[in-house]
Amino acid sequence: MSFARTLLISCLGVSIAAAQPAPPPAKAKAAKQYVDAGLAAQNTGDYDTAITFYEKAYELVPHPVLLFNMAQAHRLAKRDERALELYKKYLAADPKGAQAKTASEIVAEIEAKLAATKAAEQAEAARAEEQAKKDAAAARPVEVRSAPEPARPGAEPPPSPGSPGKTLRIAGIGVGAVGVVGVGVGIVFGLKARSISDELSELHGVYSKDKEDDGKRANAFAIAGLVGGTVLVAAGVTLYWRGHVAKGRAERVAVTPMIGDQMAGFAVSGLLP
């Protein structure tokens, strides 16, 4: 009886007759015994032992269908990459063999499975890397800035973080504006004093104490407004100029209104740069 009829190789219950030149009877018999032992081990789920017996049979009789059997055992043992290698080796050795169609279908299935697994692993690696970056960012120490020390009584305040001389420029504009108003008030009262003087002249020597007092007050306010306003305008210009050239020193400026019987104006005091 030829080897092709005596060496029956089956995987998953399918018997396959191998058609190739008959090997020496002794090798054929030994190979058949290994194949039978391999099938028995595979049926019990002992895939590693089955593979060992298939490999021994293949050493004696290198029939392509034994490659298919080894591939099946590796696939059942969840070793897809090794199984894929053996399926392809079987198809290369016997592309039109009895199990060629089955092997081709399994190859496509395993390749798709491995591609999906690789994509999932890459996605998981990217997610883990992103999470690691977030964890590293969260673990960075937070810079804690200490509160500034309270100013000691009498100590000069630190330089203003804003524009150098800004306070002086604002004060200069304010003082100058008040000075302009003062000049305007002086002009108004000056005109009033002039009007009262004209009225007294028209009385042709008739004395009017009320008119004279009104004239004196109007004249005093006119002088105070003109003089005080002019001074304030000059002070405003000076303050604005000093604020313009200031280089970051702290400014403490106070503008205080001053009103008296013979004057009206503002007093400017503070630290100038």
Q: By the 8 A CB rule, do 20 and 2 touch? A: no
Angle in degrees, CA 213, 214, 217, rounded to 5: 85
Greatest mean pLDDT range, 8-12, 140-144, 198-202: 140-144
Q: Is the predicted pLDDT of residue 9 greater than 50, yes or no? A: no
Between residues 36 and 149, the one the model is more confident about: 36
Q: Which residue has the higher pLDDT, 232 or 203?
A: 232
Kind of pairing, strands 14-17 and 252-259? unpaired
- Rounded average pLDDT over 250-266: 54
pLDDT > 70 in the chain, percent: 68
In 40-167, at which residue ranges do the beta strands (DSSP E only) sit? none
Q: Report whether pLDDT(65) > 60.
A: yes
Residue written as token pair 């396959």 = 16
The three-point CA angle 263-265-267 to 5° equals: 120
Whether the pLDDT of residue 49 is over 90: the answer is yes
| Lowest-pLDDT choice from 11-25, 41-55, 198-212 | 11-25
pLDDT score for 82: 96
Residue 14 has pLDDT above 50, yes or no: no
pTM for this prediction = 0.44
Rounded mean pLDDT of 189-197?
A: 76
Instruction: Tell whether the model's pLDDT for residue 31 goes beyond 90.
Output: yes
- pLDDT, one tens digit per residue, over 108-153 is 999 999 999 999 999 999 999 999 999 998 888 767 676 666 667 6
Helix (H, G, I), strand (E, B) or coil at 234: helix
Rounded CA separation 162/147 (Å): 19
| Type of residue found at 174 | G
**Cβ(88)–Cβ(55) under 8 Å?**
no
Inter-CA distances, 38 with 24, 35, 84, 87, Å: 21, 5, 20, 18
What digits encode the pLDDT tens for the residues 69-104? 999 999 999 999 999 999 999 999 999 999 999 999
Strands 8-11, 14-17: pairing kind: antiparallel
Looking at every residue in the chain, the average pLDDT score rounds to: 77
Question: In this structure, what is the dihedral angle of CA atoms 261, 265, 267, 268, given to the nearest 10 degrees?
Answer: 180
Q: Kindly state the average pLDDT of the residues 34-57.
A: 96
Q: How many Cβ atoms from other residues are within 10 Å of residue 100's Cβ?
A: 16
> pLDDT value at position 52?
97
CB atoms under 10 Å from CB of 37, counted, come to 17
Check pLDDT > 70 for residue 19: no
